[in-house]
Amino acid sequence: MSQDLNGPAEPGRYKVMNMQRTTDSLKGYFLLATPVIESGFFKGTVTYVCEHGETGAMGLVVNKPLDLQLADIFEHLNIQPLLSHDEVSVMAGGPIKVDRGFVLHSPGVSYDATLKVNEDVWLTTSKDVLADIASGSGPDQHLIALGYTGWSAGQLEKEIAENSWLTIAADTTVLFDISAEQKSESAGQLLGIDIRLLTQHVGHS
């Protein structure tokens, strides 16, 4: 992880970027991997979609813990936490730019590089949010990931049509409070399904 995570916000951009949501946007949704994805990084994953539009989509896998704790991140960034974070896992957010950090968190302070996904979830990529978390003054809810997931224009729509993903309006309890091991099952329950019973033929009607 770089010292400023992903660097400062681009010049001329507001600290909090409230992107316009279109009617068919999946921003703020979960993508629940179906059994169609039989192997590889995305098998069994739950991905939170942070951006989705005509040019493509970007999201973070939220249920794939790395062998890395938040305390390790603080040590790497020379941040001295006031409380122990030894049991707070860092997620593998995706296979792209795996050395870059992303923090999904509840609304509140606008940091140097913060994207307002919706009214309930913000995404910050600057180091200042970690400093606040370490000091105990950070967002009440947060999830830290390294790397992200991206789709080119039309790619996600194609994968959904191929039944690779179920789309579910995200729930902040599942996102922040449910353990990584239980997120897939809990996300499925939002649709009233048992993800363990799905077959490769499941999909959207």
pTM for this one? 0.85
Residues of the chain falling short of pLDDT 50: 1-23, 204-205
Q: pLDDT for 149-166, tens place per residue?
A: 999 999 999 999 999 999
Q: How many whole angstroms separate alpha carbon 76 and alpha carbon 42?
A: 27
Catalogue all structural domains in the chain, each as residue range(s) with its CATH number: 16-197 (3.40.1740.10)
Three-state secondary-structure class, residue 67: strand
